[in-house]
Amino acid sequence: MNAPTDKPTNDLLTRQADGVLWLTINREARRNAMSPAVIEGISGALQRARNDRSLRAIVLTGVGERAFCAGADLATGKSFKFDYSEPEQAFANLIRLARGTHVPLIARVNGACVAGGMGLLAMCDLAVAAPHARFGLPEVKIGVFPAQVLAVLQGLIGRRMLTELCITGEMIDAQKALACGLVNAVADDLDAGVQALLDRITDKSPAAIRRGLYLMQHAQDMTFEQSMAFVEGQIGLFALTEDAAEGQAAFREKRKPEWSGR
C-alpha cells in the first residue's frame, strides 16, 4: 500500500495513495482554467505513470465546486498565441500522451467543464459528474473553434450533438451529458461516485486492463478487417500473462485472484 502524499506543483496538486494518482487543477480563482504549468504538470504525471506498475488508476479533477476546468485562461490574452513554427502544441501533445497511457484515466467533473476542459474530459477513459456540472464548447462566442478538442470528442459522442455544441456554443447539464455519452455517471455524492467506480476497477487484473486499453486505443481507428487481424493476434498475448493464469486458476478453485499485474 502506498503512503499518501500531497505535493503542490505550481498550479497542479498531485497525490498518490493506494494505487490511485490524483491530479487536481489548483486555480479556483480562475475557474481552474489551464495554464502552461497545468498542462506541463499533467503531461509529466502521465509520462511518469507509464513506468509505474503500482498505479491502478488516475483521477483528474479541479479544486472547489465551481469548475472542473474552464479551458484556456482568456484573461492572460495569450491563450491563442502559439509558436506557429512548431507543428505540435502543448495541449495537443497532452492529449497524445493520454491516449498512450494504459492506466485508466477518470475525470471527476466537479463543476463547469468548458472548452479545453472538454478536451481533458474526453481524453479520460471514464467520467463521473456532480449534478450541478455543466458542459459546453463556447469557442464560437469569441471567434474561434474547438479544433483540438474535436480530435477526442468526435469519437465519443454523436455527430449531431457534437455539431450542436460546436456551432451554438451553448451549455448542457449533467443529465444531458450522461444521455449523450460524455460521462458514465452523475453522482449526488461525487466522491462516493468516483470511489465506487475505482472499486470496480482496482479489483480487476492490472495486466488485462493495461493490455486492454492498449488494444482499444489502437483498434478504434482501424477498418473492420484491420481491427479483426489486430485483435486476433492480441488475444493470445493476453493468455500468456501471469494474471491470465492466476485468474483462471482462481475461477477453478473458487477463490479471489491475487493479481501480480504481469
Which candidate, 139, 24, 165, 26, places its Cα nearest to that of 74?
139
Instruction: Read off the pLDDT of each residue in 231-239 and give the average, rounded to a whole number.
Output: 84
Q: What is the DSSP letter of 182?
A: S
**d(Cα 60, Cα 130) in Å, to the nearest integer?**
14
Q: Tell me which amino acid residue 135 is.
A: F
Q: Which residues pair with 186 in a beta bridge?
A: 129
For the domain 5-202, what is the CATH code? 3.90.226.10
Listed by start position, the domains of the chain span: 5-202, 206-253
Q: Which three cell numbers stand for residue 65?
A: 465546486
Cβ count within 10 A of residue 105 = 23
pTM value?
A: 0.88
Does residue 155 sit in helix, strand or coil? coil
Instruction: Give the pLDDT band of residue 4 (cuts 50, 70, 90).
Output: very low
Per-residue confidence at 72, pLDDT binned at 50, 70, 90? Answer: confident
Quick one: which H or E segment has residue 91? helix 90-99
Distance CA 164, CA 70 (A): 19
d(CA 168, CA 132): 21
In angstroms, how far is the first alpha carbon of the chain from the final one? 18
Q: Residue 129 is which amino acid? A: A
Mean pLDDT, residues 127-131 taken together: 98
Q: How confident is the model at residue 133 (pLDDT cuts 50, 70, 90)?
A: very high
Give 157-197 pLDDT, tens digit per residue.
999 999 999 999 999 999 999 999 999 999 999 999 999 99
Q: What is the pLDDT of residue 144?
A: 87
Q: Contact at 8 Å (CB) between 102 and 210?
A: yes
Distance of alpha carbon 56 from alpha carbon 50, whole angstroms: 11
Band (44; pLDDT cuts 50, 70, 90) = very high
